[in-house]
Amino acid sequence: MAYENILFDLDGTLTDPYLGITNSVKYALEKFNILENDINKLKLFIGPPLEKSFIEYYQFDKNKAKIAIEYYREYFSEKGIYENKLYDNIENLLNDMKNKNCILATSKPKKFALEILKYFKIDQYFNEIIGSNLDGTLSEKEEIIKYIIEENNLNKTETIMVGDRKYDIIGAHKNNIHSVAVMYGYGSKEELEESKPTYFCKDVMDIIKIIKREHL
């Protein structure tokens, strides 16, 4: 039986937000007189909730991380949100999935996620867009997936999470649904292997075969 409910991560799965996110983090860090000239070091911020990343990678406390997020959003809302691009074949993938129940499941605030989908003209492919709240609540992927399943009364055996970081895969495990780890995003091979997804996928179009279970 094919999967009917497809939960898609955004950053690193549908779009490549490298420049927008790293530039926004760099801008925020500069407000604290932290100069990070090698923005490649900041790609670790792509995927997990921002608060977690500022705390883990720069040892900010919760209050300082909250202020950093406000600075981050100053840049992101004006420039960073558009320093982004769709991965090749994403629109073909979504068009092929138009008869499925596609739902966006992202830790990015819903406000920004919706704007990005509209910017790339792919918002029409999603029946629902679920992201975090601006106050930081509903930001963990485990919570987001649980919320989507419960609010839509989804059959777990027909539901699958597609993402590029361990947070997507772990969140799927904790909600007892299957998962696809895409290898073209920002999760390392080691990170994704350790999180034990149901499937690995190297190419965007291969996601279709997995969802339709044509590979079995």
Residue 193: the pLDDT is 97
**Does residue 87 have a pLDDT over 70?**
yes
Residue 18 neighbours by CB under 8 Å, 6+ apart: 43, 46
* Cα–Cα separations (whole angstroms), residue 194 to 62, 126, 167: 28, 30, 11
Residue with tokens 């699958």: 160
Q: Is the pLDDT of residue 37 over 90?
A: no
In whole angstroms, what is the distance from residue 172 CA to residue 8 CA?
11
Q: What pLDDT is stored for residue 190 in this prediction? A: 97
Indicate if the pLDDT at residue 121 is higher than 80. yes
Percent of all residues in the chain with a pLDDT value above 70, rounded to a whole number: 99
Q: What pLDDT, on a 0 to 100 scale, did the predictor assign at position 212?
A: 84
- Give the mean pLDDT of 81-105: 96
Please list the residues that pair with 181 across neighbouring strands.
Answer: 163, 200
pLDDT, one tens digit per residue, over 69-78 is: 999 999 999 9
- Tracing tokens 């190419």 back to the chain, one arrives at 203
Alpha carbons 84 and 80: distance in angstroms, whole number: 8
Domains and CATH numbers, the chain: 5-16+85-211 (3.40.50.1000), 18-82 (1.10.150.240)
Give me the numbers of helices (H) and strands (E) for the chain, helices first please.
9, 8
Active site residue 9: yes
Check pLDDT > 70 for residue 62: yes
Angle of the 18-30 helix axis to the 50-58 helix axis, nearest 10: 60
Strand order across the beta sheet in which 101-109 lies: 128-132, 101-109, 5-8, 159-163, 178-182, 199-201
Please state, rounded to an integer, the average pLDDT across all residues of the chain. 96
Q: pLDDT for 173-200, tens place per residue? A: 999 999 999 999 999 999 999 999 999 9
- Across the range 59-78, mean pLDDT stands at 97
Over 60: is that where the pLDDT of 216 sits? no
**Which residue is catalytic, options 9, 164, 168, 206?**
9
Q: Are 3 and 211 in contact (CB under 8 A)?
A: yes
For residues 138 and 24, give the distance between their C-alpha atoms in angstroms, rounded to a whole number. Answer: 21
In this predicted structure, what is the pLDDT of residue 158? 96
List of residues 6+ apart from 55 with CB closer than 8 A: 61, 62, 65
pLDDT confidence tier of residue 215, bands split at 50, 70 and 90: low
The SS3 call for residue 200 is strand
